[in-house]
C-alpha cells in the first residue's frame, strides 16, 4: 500500500530540471513562463529544482552542440532513477535550421531515450503543460515497473 502511495506521489510531485544545450532561449522563456501566475504549472506540483540530483523530469532544449553533448550526458548520469526526459521544441529532435552543421549533434535520440517530445518553434506554454502532464503519467508507470 505504501508502494502505491509512493507511485501516486511520483505523479503528483515531479520536479523539473532544465538543461539548455545551445538553445536560442525561446523555449527556455516559454518554460519559465509556465511558472508564472497565468499558466501556473505549480498547481500540479511542478517545481524547478536546482540540482540534477533532485530532478524527476529533465527538460532539454536546444540542438545538442558538440561542446554541450558531453556535459548533457554527464548531467543525465547524475539524475536518480526513475526519471523522464522531455524535449522542448524542434531543436533537440532534429536540429531545426541548424541541421547539418559541424557543431550540432541533434537528434538527441542518438544518445538518450526521449519520453515526450513537444513540437513547436517555439512551444506554446499550454503545450508544455500538456506534455509535462503526460510525462508525469509515464513517470508513474516507470515507478510501478520498478516496484515489480
- Tell me: does residue 20 bind another protein (CB under 8 A): no
- Tell me: does residue 112 bind another protein (CB under 8 A): no
Please identify, using beta-carbon distances, which residue of 53 and 66 lies nearer to another protein. Answer: 53
In whole angstroms, what is the distance from residue 53 CA to residue 49 CA? Answer: 9
- Tell me: does residue 18 bind another protein (CB under 8 A): no
Over the chain, what HEC string results? CHHHHHHHHHHHCCEEEEEECCCCCHHHHHHHHCCCCCCCHHHHCCEECCCHHHCCEEEEECCCEHHHHHHHHHHHHCCCCCCEEEEECCHHHHCHHHCCCCCECCCHHHCCCCCEEECCCCCCHHHHHHHHHHHHHHHHHHHHHHHC
Judged by CB under 8 A, which of 1, 43, 102, 110 binds another protein? 43
- Tell me: does residue 104 bind another protein (CB under 8 A): no
Please identify, using beta-carbon distances, which residue of 66 and 80 lies nearer to another protein. Answer: 80
83, 103 in Cβ contact below 8 A? no
Judged by CB under 8 A, which of 10, 27, 31, 85 binds another protein? 10
- Tell me: does residue 143 bind another protein (CB under 8 A): yes
Question: How far is C-alpha 34 from the chain's CA centre?
Answer: 13
Site string for another protein, 66-95 (x = CB under 8 A): ------------x-xxx-------x--xxx
Query: What residue ranges bind another protein (CB under 8 A)?
Result: 5-10, 12-14, 37-40, 42-45, 48-51, 53-54, 56, 78, 80-82, 90, 93-97, 99, 107, 109, 114-121, 124, 126-127, 129-131, 133-134, 138, 143
Amino acid at each position: 500500500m505504501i508502494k502505491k502511495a509512493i507511485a501516486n506521489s511520483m505523479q503528483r510531485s515531479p520536479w523539473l530540471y532544465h538543461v539548455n544545450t545551445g538553445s536560442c532561449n525561446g523555449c527556455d522563456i516559454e518554460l519559465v513562463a509556465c511558472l508564472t501566475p497565468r499558466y501556473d504549472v505549480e498547481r500540479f506540483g511542478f517545481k524547478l529544482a536546482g540540482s540534477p540530483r533532485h530532478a524527476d523530469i529533465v527538460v532539454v532544449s536546444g540542438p545538442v552542440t558538440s561542446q554541450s553533448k558531453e556535459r548533457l550526458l554527464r548531467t543525465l548520469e547524475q539524475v536518480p532513477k526513475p526519471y523522464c526526459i522531455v524535449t522542448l521544441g524542434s531543436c533537440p529532435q532534429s536540429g531545426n535550421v541548424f541541421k547539418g552543421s559541424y557543431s550540432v549533434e541533434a537528434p538527441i535520440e542518438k544518445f538518450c531515450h526521449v519520453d515526450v517530445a513537444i513540437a513547436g518553434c517555439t512551444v506554446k506554454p499550454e503545450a508544455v503543460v500538456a506534455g509535462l502532464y503526460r510525462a508525469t503519467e509515464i513517470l508513474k508507470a516507470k515507478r510501478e515497473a520498478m516496484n515489480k
